[in-house]
Amino acid sequence: MKLKNNSQPYLAAIAVIIIGLTASCKHQPAKEAAAEYTLKGDVITLPEHSVLKGKLKYITVDTEPYQMQMLTAGTVRAIPTQYAEIAPPFQGRVTKSFIKLGMKTTAETPLFEISSPDFIAAQKVFFQEKSQMQQAERTLKRQKDLMANGVGTQKDLEEAQTAYDVEKKEFENAVIGIKIFKANPEKLSLGQALVVHAPITGEVIENKVVLGQFIKDDAASVATVANLNKVWVSGQVKEKDIRYIHEKDECEIEVAALPGKTIRGKVYHVNEVVDEDTRSVQVLIECDNNDHMLKPGMYVSVNFIDAPASAIIVPLKAILQMNDANFVFIVTPDGKYIKRKVETGGTEKDRVVIKSGLAKGEKIVSEGGFYLLEAK
């Protein structure tokens, strides 16, 4: 029992020594790590013997040809000037139909005939005015003959001339009334049906004409003619990216229904108004569509391709992030590492385009920069 009591001071002393040694060992790596670098603001200095240098990789920044690409969704649309919905100008009953789906048309192709009371009324006015003008013309000619033979009066001649001018004008108005129906006044006969013609060159893509149906003057279209050899693709580009889109820029169109097929197009128009709901701008792309593979209403993917330009492109691993900002470490010849903010653009596989913040010829940390980030 005495031996045990006498050993307690010795055991306490040994414990103190062990704790002191343990604490010393714990603080030693921290001191060594602190000696690995010096930090001043955004500048880190690594000594020659620093083990961190072996964990870093470097590249020298250079420029190379680059075409920026931007992907967005789009919808195929018919070009408005190459698309026409057909509706009779006046009410009437369909008496004959020539129209068929897929039928090719010109601007003079007859589509259907309609018996229109308004057209018949216009015909009556036309033939009445034509007869009155011819009568006034004969009267004027007779008065001219009388004056030439010395038996007429100047007053009668002037009255005949005035009457003819009035009737001629009335007849011209009647001719316009007939042409509104796209009828030929020279081939017109009283009581003939109104022939509705295609207004454009194209193809019938919709037909609702029913023989014998009565069409009101406020009825919706009964047929649609379109020329789809060229179409528009309407794409939506976010307002922050619209500065990269220009008229005549090339685009690649991909359609889910046509796997593996890429259709080329060019930017036709960039809208001047931003959609307040989507914060995007409508961009119209014109595409050749001779094979009619693109159909109005289709959803497509649009890849905008910017004109080739020189750009700085660095590995993605070189870009570090902090507080929603991107930055890299610039390497100076005297062993300093400077944190610098950069603005990034599009990505290309495992590389990223630098819009601003770097210059050609500068040396940066391309991999392992997070070690320096931990030092900070």
The pLDDT tens digits of the residues spanning 346-372 come to 777 888 989 889 999 999 999 988 888
Question: Does 140 share its domain with 120?
Answer: yes
> How many residues are there in the chain?
376
Examine the fold and report which residue of 305, 326, 355 is the final residue of a domain before the chain moves on.
305
Question: Does 213 share its domain with 118?
Answer: yes
Strand partners, 286: 232, 266
The pLDDT tens digits of the residues spanning 94-127 come to 999 999 999 999 988 999 999 888 888 899 999 9
Position 33 pLDDT exceeds 80 = no
**What is the C-alpha separation between 68 and 251, in angstroms, rounded?**
11
**What is the C-alpha separation between 127 and 134, in angstroms, rounded?**
11
Residue 340 token pair: 């610098």
Question: Does 221 share its domain with 335?
Answer: no
pLDDT-derived band of residue 57, with 50, 70 and 90 as boundaries?
A: very high
**What is the C-alpha separation between 165 and 160, in angstroms, rounded?**
9
pLDDT of residue 17: 36
pLDDT of residue 182: 76
Position 335 pLDDT exceeds 60 = yes
Examine the fold and report which residue of 286, 305, 324 is the final residue of a domain before the chain moves on.
305
pLDDT of residue 118: 85
**Residues 175-181: what's their mean pLDDT?**
86
**Residues 335-343: what's their mean pLDDT?**
90
- For the domain that residue 234 is a member of, what is the CATH number? 2.40.30.170
Whether 12 maps to a domain, the answer reads: no
- For the domain that residue 96 is a member of, what is the CATH number? 2.40.50.100
Question: Does 136 share its domain with 249?
Answer: no
- The whole-chain average pLDDT of the chain stands at 84
pLDDT-derived band of residue 324, with 50, 70 and 90 as boundaries?
A: confident
**What is the C-alpha separation between 36 and 52, in angstroms, rounded?**
7
The fraction of the chain above a pLDDT of 70, given in percent, is: 89
Question: Does 198 share its domain with 272?
Answer: no
Comparing 16-25, 80-89, 160-169, 242-251, which segment has the lowest mean pLDDT?
16-25
Quote the pTM value: 0.59
Whether 206 maps to a domain, the answer reads: yes
pLDDT of residue 269: 94
Residue 28 token pair: 């030693």
Whether 105 maps to a domain, the answer reads: yes
pLDDT of residue 308: 66
Question: Does 96 share its domain with 200?
Answer: yes
**Residues 329-352: what's their mean pLDDT?**
87
pLDDT of residue 22: 44
Whether 28 maps to a domain, the answer reads: no
Whether 154 maps to a domain, the answer reads: yes
Question: Does 266 share its domain with 367?
Answer: no
Position 37 pLDDT exceeds 90 = no
**Residues 140-156: what's their mean pLDDT?**
90
Question: Does 119 share its domain with 182?
Answer: yes
Domain of 168? 82-225
pLDDT of residue 7: 39
**What is the C-alpha separation between 79 and 228, in angstroms, rounded?**
8
**What is the C-alpha separation between 101 and 203, in angstroms, rounded?**
8
**The total number of structural domains that make up the chain:** 3
Question: Does 144 share its domain with 220?
Answer: yes
Whether 21 maps to a domain, the answer reads: no
Position 146 pLDDT exceeds 80 = yes
Question: Does 270 share its domain with 315?
Answer: no
**What is the C-alpha separation between 358 and 352, in angstroms, rounded?**
13
Question: Does 118 share its domain with 191?
Answer: yes
Whether 157 maps to a domain, the answer reads: yes
pLDDT-derived band of residue 241, with 50, 70 and 90 as boundaries?
A: confident
The fraction of the chain above a pLDDT of 90, given in percent, is: 47
- Where does residue 5 rank: exposed (0-12), middle (13-18), buried (19+ CB within 10 A)? exposed
- For the domain that residue 355 is a member of, what is the CATH number? 2.40.420.20
Q: How many helices (H) and strands (E) does the chain have?
A: 4, 24
Q: Which long-range contacts (CB under 8 A, 24 or more apart) does 174-182 make?
A: 174/122, 174/125, 174/126, 174/128, 174/129, 174/130, 175/126, 177/122, 177/125, 177/126, 178/122, 178/123, 178/126, 180/89, 180/122, 181/89, 181/90, 181/116, 181/119, 181/122
| 206 or 48, greater pLDDT | 206
Query: What angle do helix axes 117-148 and 154-179 make, rounded to 10 degrees?
Result: 160
The pLDDT tens digits of the residues spanning 279-309 come to 999 999 999 999 899 999 999 999 987 766 7
Whether 270 maps to a domain, the answer reads: yes
Examine the fold and report which residue of 290, 305, 320 is the final residue of a domain before the chain moves on.
305
Question: Does 271 share its domain with 172?
Answer: no
